[in-house]
Structure 1
């Protein structure tokens, strides 16, 4: 397990094989550096103000 964790938020509308390959290459490169990287589509994540505090919501269970 790695010590570092991050998100790569990418354009969810760009679904060609080339963009998928590039995103997976970023994920593999991060892993080599000890970073666990989640790939997240920008159309699956939302920032909002809820009860006076900022929050991040997602369509999936990645949070």
Structure 2
């Protein structure tokens, strides 16, 4: 029996949110962040992450 994709829940949440908000990404920033976090953890184990691209660069933390 194949294992469930560890980030499938987050990928489905993105689709649901986008559909509910007429595909306005700005309305789904939190679920997109959750997907990014999941992909960071499960990079090699999630087929959902293979097609997930960051549209925005990651935040750079700079110290002054």
TM-score, scaled to structure 1: 0.34
Structure number having the greater strand percentage = 1
Structure number having the greater helix percentage = 2
TM-score, scaled to structure 2: 0.34
